[in-house]
């Protein structure tokens, strides 16, 4: 089982990776908005599904059908996607063969597809199936006399199609449907969904590679060195406890799966809360890390190698995605809540091991016993109940910090961690003041109202 320190280091790393993943995801979505890669993969997948490499045959007819062209603005024009094919017949045959045999996307097509910025990134399977059957011969929709007559017409028309994937898929669907048009339609929907699952796999693999690259750029740009962060968390208890409180305080706001995902402000606040763990010019004091840190600072080559390794680890961690690290952070928090050292039961054993009563006292039932201390008075019963708030003040980021609670100064420990009793149900003002590099006074303020639900809740300042 994890000991407390290892678990706390894991929580700190998971929180850092969650913040880095959210930064990378924001950049990825920005790139997606510009390049429309989902639409690129969707169009490529449909061309491959319909055995139409150039998009001028079944794909063109399908996107011109009312069931599909209503899903996007503009017109699907394959001549804008592959004009280069007409310039080099050898290149045309070679690339068409690659697409047919291996499903390779033509890079020049991918470059031109973003021009169709309104191209759909998603097509419902029902729309696709109805459009395809209508093209085969289901024109007339609700005017059909019966399903059996319609199915016979579809079978006859399907037999006239050129041999290939589309004809085979339609004939299989009609065979499964028998005389039931809806069953045949659902069979084609399942065929389309299977093809789109393959498209999703393409997109996920590409996204993971892109996230690794973005993660590496993010790691280098913000100096998110996983090795150094783990070393700092292991050697500096003050930093570790501050990160724990900030992770507990901010993890719900960083949930990537909530209806309103974290906005830019949530991500920036979380990044700022990491303090000296990330960023350039924030290397920890070698004295805090002991001899290992001093040796690393003296060995320039080894230090650079560790830094590069830390960046690579961060990039790989970012590629796993923000939802993964949010789940890991939550699980670590649950484990930590169940194995807190001060909640563990004392070790049990025999009376001899635990130090039982003296023999004389066991034999003499009339031996006097020490009276239990009187219960302390609880004057709070007549007034508002008292709760406690745990503050984590980033003293390592501040110059000459001072703490005020409801306008009264409070002693601030060196590590910035303090627990303050406050009345419940009453708003309290907590302020931290410090001076900046120019000597000007800065103030950070939060208003806290305690209840039984948030008693002992962590609060990070600034």
Which two tokens mark 166?
A: 């589309």
Angle in degrees, 0-180, between the axes of helices 181-221 and 4-35, rounded to the nearest 10: 110
Query: For each of the chain's 462 residues, which pLDDT tens digit applies?
Result: 455 788 889 988 998 898 888 888 888 888 877 777 788 888 888 888 888 888 778 888 888 888 888 787 767 777 665 443 344 444 444 444 444 444 444 444 444 444 445 677 788 989 888 888 888 875 544 444 577 778 888 888 888 888 888 888 888 888 888 888 888 889 889 999 998 888 888 888 888 888 899 999 989 988 889 999 999 888 888 888 888 888 887 767 776 665 555 666 666 766 676 767 787 765 544 444 444 444 544 567 788 888 999 999 999 999 998 889 888 988 888 887 775 544 443 444 444 444 444 444 444 444 444 444 554 444 444 556 777 777 777 766 677 788 888 888 888 777 777 788 888 878 888 888 877 655 566 777 888 887 766 655 565 555
Half-sphere exposure of 119 (CA within 13 A, CB side): 25
Contact 446, 269 (CB under 8 A): no
How far apart (Å, rounded) are the C-alpha atoms in residues 34 and 133?
A: 34
User: Which pTM value belongs to this model?
Assistant: 0.55
Sequence ranges of the domains in the chain: 1-85+102-279+306-340, 387-450
- 23, 174, 417, 442 from 230: Cα distances, Å: 20, 60, 21, 31
């Amino acid at each position: 089982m994890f000991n407390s320190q290892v678990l706390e280091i894991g929580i700190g790393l998971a929180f850092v990776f969650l913040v880095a993943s959210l930064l990378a995801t924001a950049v990825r979505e920005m790139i997606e908005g510009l390049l429309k890669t989902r639409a690129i993969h969707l169009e490529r997948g449909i061309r491959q599904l319909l055995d139409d490499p150039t998009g001028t045959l079944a794909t063109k007819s399908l996107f011109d059908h009312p069931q599909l062209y209503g899903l996007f603005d503009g017109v699907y024009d394959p001549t804008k996607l592959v004009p280069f094919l007409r310039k080099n017949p050898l290149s045309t045959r070679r690339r068409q063969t690659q697409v047919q045999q291996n499903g390779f996307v033509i890079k020049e097509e991918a470059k031109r597809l973003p021009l169709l910025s309104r191209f759909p990134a998603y097509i419902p399977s029902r729309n696709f199936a109805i459009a395809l059957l209508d093209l085969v011969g289901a024109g007339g929709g609700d005017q059909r006399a019966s399903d059996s007559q319609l199915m016979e017409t579809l079978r006859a028309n399907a037999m006239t199609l050129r041999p290939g994937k589309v004809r085979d898929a339609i004939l299989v669907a009609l065979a499964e449907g028998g005389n039931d048009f809806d069953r045949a339609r659902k069979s084609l929907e399942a065929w389309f969904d299977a093809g789109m699952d393959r498209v999703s796999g393409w997109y996920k693999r590409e996204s993971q590679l892109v996230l690794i690259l973005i993660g590496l750029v993010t790691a280098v740009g913000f100096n998110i060195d996983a090795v150094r962060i783990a070393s700092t968390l292991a050697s500096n208890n003050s930093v570790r406890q501050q990160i724990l409180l900030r992770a507990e305080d901010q993890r719900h706001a960083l949930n990537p799966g909530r209806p309103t995902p974290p906005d830019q402000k949530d991500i920036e606040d979380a990044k700022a809360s990491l303090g000296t763990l990330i960023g350039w010019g924030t290397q920890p004091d070698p004295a805090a890390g002991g001899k290992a840190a001093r040796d690393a600072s003296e060995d320039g080559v080894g230090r650079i190698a560790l830094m590069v390794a830390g960046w690579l680890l961060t990039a790989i961690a970012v590629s796993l995605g923000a939802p993964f690290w949010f789940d890991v952070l939550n699980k670590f928090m649950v484990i930590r809540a169940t194995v807190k050292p001060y909640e563990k039961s004392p070790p049990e054993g025999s009376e001899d091991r635990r130090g039982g009563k003296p023999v004389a006292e066991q034999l003499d039932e009339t031996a006097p016993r020490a009276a239990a201390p009187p219960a302390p008075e609880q004057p709070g019963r007549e007034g508002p109940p008292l709760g406690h708030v745990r503050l984590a003040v980033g003293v390592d980021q501040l110059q000459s910090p001072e703490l005020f609670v409801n306008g009264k100064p409070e002693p601030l420990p060196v590590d910035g961690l303090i627990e303050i009793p406050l009345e419940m149900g009453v708003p309290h003002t907590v302020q931290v003041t410090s001076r900046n590099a120019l000597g000007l006074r800065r103030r950070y303020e939060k208003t806290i109202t305690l209840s039984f639900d948030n008693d002992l809740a962590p609060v990070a300042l600034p």
